Structure formats: C-alpha cells, structure tokens
Amino acid sequence: MVALTPGPLAARILAATGVACAALEAVHSRALLRGPRAARHLRIDSGSVEIEDGAGRLRAGTLRPGSFVAPWLTIVRWRPEGARFDRTLPLLPGMAEAQALRRLRVVLRLG
C-alpha cells in the first residue's frame, strides 16, 4: 500500500519502515507476550477489567461491547480508565488454562 501511495520515495520508505516497526512491536508484545507492554494477567469482574502488564503495572478499565468469541480466538475489547480509545487483547488457546479461557468466553458471550 505504501508503494502505491504518491509522494517522494524517501517519505514512502520512511512510512514503510514505521509500519514494519509497529507490526514487529505488536507481534513481540501481543502475540509472543514479551516485553513491558505484554499482558501477563487478566481479570474480568462484572464489567470491570484489570490487566497486569510485563512491567508489573496494573491497569484497570471497563469491558466494552464488541468482544469476539470463537473456539480458536477470543478478543477482549476494553478501555483503560482515563484513556480515549478502546484496546483489544487477543487470546489464543494455550495462552491460558483451558478452564479459565472457557469461563472467560462464557462471560464475554453473556455480558
């Protein structure tokens, strides 16, 4: 997409590099669960969400409509307190105990 965007070549290369770096950081922190921004612990209680990240910080927020539940993927949509935009937390089988992931899927489907 960046290759088809009009503009100077140097600006397109810079934009492509930025997109690639953002994608690598997302894979590193979200998919591989490494780094200080990776979610280590998740707790959902009657619409409130608490997530502890890799740096040990506890972030609280509210569960938002639009979470996705499937047997192969669960996406928790939440908004941290004081934040302007929603965040998503993708969960795959094997990222948590099967029973805990099953309870989470039930809570997200019903709530």
Decide: 27 and 19 in contact? Cβ < 8 Å: no
Phi, psi (5° rounding) for residue 110? -85, -25
Same domain for 45 and 26, yes or no, is: no
**pLDDT score recorded for residue 69:** 87
* Max intra-chain CA distance, the chain: 53
Mind listing the pLDDT tens digit of every residue in the chain (111 residues)?
777 778 888 888 898 899 888 888 777 766 666 666 667 778 888 778 888 877 778 888 888 888 888 888 888 888 989 889 988 888 888 777 888 888 888 888 876
Distance CA 78, CA 92 (A): 17
**pLDDT score recorded for residue 36:** 67
Same domain for 61 and 103, yes or no, is: yes
pTM of the shown model? 0.66
Number of separate domains in the chain: 2
**What range defines the domain where residue 43 resides?**
37-110
Q: What is the pLDDT of residues 1-31, one digit of tens each?
A: 777 778 888 888 898 899 888 888 777 766 6
Distance CA 109, CA 68 (A): 8
Decide: 47 and 61 in contact? Cβ < 8 Å: no
Same domain for 64 and 25, yes or no, is: no
**pLDDT score recorded for residue 32:** 60
Same domain for 5 and 57, yes or no, is: no
Same domain for 45 and 70, yes or no, is: yes
Neighbours of 39 (CB within 10 A): 19
Distance CA 60, CA 48 (A): 7
- Identify the three-state secondary structure at position 60: strand
